[in-house]
Chain A
Amino acid sequence: MSVFDGFKFRSISSPIHQLDPRAKFIYVCVLFTVAVMFNNIIPLLILFLIQLPIVFMAKVQREWMRSMKGSAVFAIMIFAVNLLSLYFYAGHETFTSILERSLAMTIRFIVLVQSFSIFFLTTSPDTLGLALEQSGIPYELCFAFTTAVRFVPVLAEEAQTIIDAQKARGLEIESGNFLRRIRNYIPILIPLIVNAIRRSLELAETMESRAWGACKNRTNLYVLKIKTNDLLLILFSLLLLTVSIYVSINVYIPSLTSLLI
């Protein structure tokens, strides 16, 4: 189990997975903007909660939990740093308000991680590449992107094989001082790089053999079309943005403590 599993695409079918990456991208951008706009706890908490139904609709609760757990360390660090710096420099604030501000910053960070996690968990690299392509980015670049993503698990597996093989020959990776440890990785990196080069040559050969570059107007098997759900998401994002701008200018946001007491 690793933190990255909280961001790695999982192929399941859900209404969120079927959304156009461009719509989701707009949503993530809006969420970012709004999260940065506020530094009070209530609106940030609302942002956090808005996304929970999306997580459940996408059926990625477990992976999402993982990304949350993975970011917990950073969240705590952010909380601590904020708390300390506000305590020592802000002077005349009450401790509760300092506490609340620090919590708000932490929640902002969590909201950002959460939206990233949702985006990457539910967007296949294939459709992401397609979205890039349809946004006018040259095909070669998009192809390089999807192929790179495609070979990440293959290379990871290969690296593990090489590590095991070198360990079996007596290589100790986790020994010695810092420089020594870096040196230990050389016998792993060299075969890995050589293999990667050989692999890329074979891939190039295959591509040539499948008429790569035969015509300028290449077709694409898939096309992305904005559907009703995508429009709804875009509409919702814009609405969220407008409301947030309005609120941040015209409405006084009470602190959580003042509401509770």
Chain B
Amino acid sequence: MTVIEAERLTYTYPAGEKPAFRDVNLKIEEGEFVIITGPSGCGKTTLCRCFNGLIPHFYGGKLEGEIRVCGLNVKEHPTYEIAQRVGMVFQNPENQLFALSVEKDVAFGLENLGVPREEIRKRIDWALKITGTYNLKNRPPYELSGGQQQRVAIASVLAMNPDVMVLDEPTSFLDPAGAEKIFEVIERLNREMSMTIILVEHRLDLVSRYADRIIVMHDGRIVMNGDPREVLASEKTRLIGVGIPKATMLYKLLKHRGINLNRPPLYSEEACQVIKEFLSR
């Protein structure tokens, strides 16, 4: 089933002179893990805001073309309705938690939906356990580390049980160790619960191994869209300025020297494997 379907989508902010992105055609299938990447200012965040209706309902502006999310026409359904299908995790962990305890924060979305209290309690525990934050349940959010806060933010979205989770650079405020923990959680959601994941990310070194597909945006357009290995090994991707994983870079350098490995690796363990395969051939 197709969960997100955009056709010739073009959007201009109320204050903007030219479109933040234009002519975007995109299809995302149920259960897919998609990474969106591209240089700063290319319109990734703006595109994500369309996925749950923040654009056009919260931001206004001019949205042309068609976009359907889980069968709902985004232009016609309010954000709170789409938010039940599409969970959104933002960049800054600090500004996503506003209650005085973790538990209350995770409950917020469910409270808004009028879910019965007993059910809310169950879902809080469930979401906190999956994200590994159960022990933080009664702590005030502002006392947590950035990584913990971001996992709680994921839990608060998860508790609403969405079909799709959109994460906009969830690790850009975190150190590599914190980032890796976030990626583990996301990967688990995708693998164990077959949740559709859309992840905006620059740290391809750490995360591209989990992806089914990578989309590269440049200057408001989608310029690459396909299998991670193909996209990352392509010269076009490198020229745009996307941070290619070192393992893939190695593959390209070797290829340049006439050494053709089996396939482009995405991370160092895989690179070892591929090189071993090559040597024992």
Select which of B57, B114, B142 is within 8 A of A218 by beta carbon: B114
Which one of A30-38, A54-62, A71-79, A196-204 is at the interface?
A196-204
A212 beta carbon closer than 8 Å to chain B: yes
Asked if A221 contacts B104 (CB within 8 A), the reply is: yes
Kindly list chain B residues whose C-beta atoms are within 8 Å of the C-beta of A124: 100
Tell me whether A213 and B99 are in contact (CB under 8 A).
no
Q: Is B83 an interface residue (CB 8 A)?
A: yes
B88 near A214 with CB under 8 A, answer: no
Q: List 17 A-B contacts (CB under 8 A).
A: A124-B100, A146-B99, A151-B98, A153-B142, A203-B95, A207-B98, A209-B54, A211-B79, A211-B84, A211-B109, A213-B80, A214-B80, A214-B112, A214-B113, A219-B116, A219-B117, A220-B111
Q: A146-B99, A206-B88, A222-B104 are in contact. List 14 more A-B contacts (CB 8 A).
A: A203-B95, A205-B90, A206-B98, A209-B54, A209-B88, A209-B157, A210-B112, A211-B80, A213-B80, A215-B113, A218-B111, A218-B114, A219-B111, A219-B120
> What 0/1 pattern do residues 90 to 106 of B give for CB contact below 8 A with A?
10101110111101100
Q: Is the CB of A208 within 8 A of B79?
A: yes
C-alpha gap A211/B117 in the complex (Å): 17
Pairwise interchain contact A218-B100, C-beta atoms closer than 8 A? no
In the complex, whether B233 has a CB less than 8 A from a CB of chain A is no
A222 / chain B contacts, CB cutoff of 8 Å? 104
Total A-B pairs, Cβ < 8 A:
105
| A217 contacts the other chain (CB 8 A) | yes
| Smallest CB-CB A-B distances: 6 pairs | A210-B109, A202-B95, A214-B80, A209-B88, A211-B80, A221-B107
The residue on A at minimum CB distance from B117 is A219
In the bound assembly, the distance between CA atoms of A153 and B142 in angstroms comes to 9
How far is B90's CA from A219's CA once the two chains are assembled, in angstroms? 25
Residues from chain B with Cβ under 8 Å of A211 in the complex: 79-80, 83-84, 109, 112-113, 160
A193 CB, nearest partner CB in chain B, Å: 16
Q: Is B131 an interface residue (CB 8 A)?
A: no
B53 to chain A: closest residue by CB = A208
Residues on B with beta carbons closer than 8 Å to the beta carbon of A214: 80-81, 83-84, 112-114
Specify which chain A residues have a CB less than 8 angstroms from the CB of B157 in the assembled complex: 209-210
Contact of A213 among B87, B104, B112 (CB under 8 A): B112
User: A167 in the interface, Cβ–Cβ < 8 Å?
Assistant: no
The answer to whether B108 has its CB under 8 Å from any CB of chain A is yes
Interface of A is mostly: helix
> Is the CB–CB distance between A154 and B94 below 8 Å?
yes
Cα-based distance from A151 to B95 in the complex (angstroms): 10
A209-B79 in contact (CB<8A): yes
Whether A70 sits at the interface, judged by CB under 8 Å, is no
Which B228-275 residues sit within 8 Å CB-CB of chain A? Answer: none
Separation in Å of the B198 CB from the closest CB of chain A?
14
- Size of chain B's interface in residues, with CB distance under 8 A? 40
Query: Does more than half of chain B's interface fall in helix, strand or loop, or is it mixed?
Result: helix
Q: Is A147 an interface residue (CB 8 A)?
A: yes
- Chain B's closest residue to A150 (CB) is B100
Most buried by A among B84, B104, B107, B120: B104
B114 adjacent to A215 (CB under 8 Å): yes
State the CA gap A223–B98 with chains docked (Å): 19
A126 CB within 8 Å of chain B: yes
Beta-carbon contact of A208 and B83 below 8 Å: yes
Residues on the A chain within 8 Å of B160, using CB = 210-211
Q: How far is the CB of B77 from chain A (nearest CB, A)?
A: 12
The answer to whether A210 and B108 touch across the interface, beta carbons within 8 angstroms, is: yes
Complex Cα gap A204–B49 (Å): 13
Complex contact A150–B142 (CB within 8 A):
yes
**B190 interfacial by beta-carbon distance below 8 Å:** no
Contact of B111 among A150, A204, A209, A221 (CB under 8 A): A221
Q: Which residue of B lies closest to A125 (CB)?
A: B100
Q: Is B150 interfacial (CB 8 A cutoff)?
A: no
* Bound form: Cα–Cα A203–B93 in Å: 11
In the assembled complex, which residues on chain B have CB atoms less than 8 Å from the CB atom of A219?
Answer: 110-111, 114-117, 120
Interchain CB contact (< 8 A) of B99 among A126, A199, A217: A126
* Residues of chain A lying within 8 A (CB to CB) of residue B156: 210
Flag B108-152 by CB within 8 Å of A: 1 or 0 each. Answer: 111111111100110000000000000000001010000000000
The reply to whether B84 and A150 contact each other, CB–CB distance below 8 Å, is no
A202 and B90 contacting across the interface, CB-CB below 8 Å = yes
CA distance A153 to B140 in the complex (A): 12
Q: How far is the CB of B174 from chain A (nearest CB, A)?
A: 17
